[in-house]
Amino acid sequence: MQKKLIALAITAAFSAPAFADTNIYGVVDAGFGSVTNTHTTTAGVSSKTGQSAFDFSQLWTTRFGIKSVEDLGNGMKATAVVETNIAAKNAQSDAGFGSATVAAAPGASTAPTATTLGDRILDVNLNFGQGTSVHVGKTSSPLRGIAYGYDAFYGSNLIGNLVTMDGSLTARMTGAGVAHTAGPFTVTFDMMDNTRTADGAADAKTGNGFELTGGYKQNALSVSAGYRSLKTVAVTAPTTTADATTKDLILAASYDFGMAKLYGQYATVTVDTSVPAATASTKKTYETVGVNVPFTSTLAGYVQTSFGKNDTGTDSPKMSAYAVGAKYDFSKSTFAYGDVGSAKSDQTAITAGSKVDQIAFGLVHSF
């Protein structure tokens, strides 16, 4: 009741229509964690940074949101969502992984971070009924949903799955799209466009392209696939300084055996770059397998492992990752968790290596 009253006050402040059903919701994730990031040069020289602290958002990102739903009649509904980060994940956990550098200092504060209202989701959705809806705005893309939806983990911020550690596969999007569900099948299509023009210069583009996903869910079996192509053109008038197209592909499946649920993912991230005449291409390939086991009605655990390869065009270092964890439910809204995870990118004579290790314990409450 109190949550409803607060939501109504916020609604009134923004002059929302009185007939819209408006609620606030959120997640608070707090606990103790340790992250170590080790960078190894091509010559085999290692350097290490890390952080051990009582911190936020090790499992889930601490956040709050406002959701307003209006019944338009004839089976139609309009929904608006504004969702905001309160404390982002520890940036040290990903700093330098798979790249040539490592952060010189811990990458996150143990205090709540500065927020921008709607930095996670700022989206309007129109549901026409009969399984069809359209949306416009910033949201968690369907392809991102496949990456996290077929993850054996209980949260999205843990180390141990190369698919969810890749920022391209888990990127949010700002655009417009349509979704349709017919029985066990769901299909989505989205378009993204951000083009800046100027006389005498090439058009500058920021992530222009499309995304297409499809899924099937029936009883214990769930299968999904997604493809996204985005082009970015950076321009310093009048010359194009960078022209890159990123292509993401993900295939995923899960099967619930009752005593355990098995997950599998295959993904590729290909980047074709022109700077501006020579063309280079890189490709990352990931394979992940995980299992989630409910030991009792309140206690469950998981094990997950990933393997991958980073084809840079001149080198192909291997990658690997794993995680083991458990979750104990105190209620539908509150649970405790513990996790140990690691991810490694091999060092070669051409490509620098990196390794990230994580230990996390905490409490999560949703409201």
Identify which of 35, 55, 3, 62 has the alpha carbon closest to the alpha carbon of residue 364.
Answer: 62
d(CA 64, CA 27): 6
Please say whether the dihedral angle defined by the alpha carbons of residues 13, 17, 21 and 25, taken in this order, is positive or negative: negative
Question: Would the pLDDT of 326 be above 60?
Answer: yes
- Examine the pLDDT at 130 and tell me if it is beyond 70: yes
Give the Cα separation of 62 and 282 in Å (integer): 34
**Entry pTM:** 0.89
The CA distance from 288 to 148, in Å, is 12
Confidence of residue 100 (pLDDT cuts 50, 70, 90): very low
* CATH class label, 2-366: mainly beta
Q: For residue range 165-196, what is the model confidence (pLDDT) as tens digits?
A: 999 999 999 999 999 999 999 999 999 999 99
Q: What is the pLDDT of residues 337-354, one digit of tens each?
A: 999 999 999 988 888 888
Q: pLDDT band at residue 320, thresholds of 50, 70 and 90?
A: very high
Look-up: residue for tokens 């404390």?
Answer: 87
For residues 95 and 85, which has the higher predicted lDDT (pLDDT)?
Answer: 85
Q: How far is CA 284 from CA 117, 133, 162, 281, 343, in A?
A: 34, 33, 10, 10, 15
Whether residue 285 contacts residue 308, with contact meaning beta carbons closer than 8 Å, is answered with: yes
Rounded Cα–Cα distance for residues 98 and 82 (Å):
33
Residue 15 confidence (pLDDT) above 70: no
Coil, strand, or helix at residue 315?
A: coil
Are 24 and 66 within 8 A, CB to CB?
A: yes
User: Are β-strands 173-182 and 21-40 bridged in parallel, bridged antiparallel, or unpaired?
Assistant: unpaired
Is residue 84 within 8 Å of 64, Cβ to Cβ? Answer: yes
Sort 155 into a burial class: Cβ within 10 Å, 0-12 / 13-18 / 19+.
Answer: buried
In whole numbers, what is the pLDDT of the chain averaged over residues?
87
Q: Which residue has the higher pLDDT, 153 or 134?
A: 134
The whole-angstrom separation of Cα 164 and Cα 222 is 19
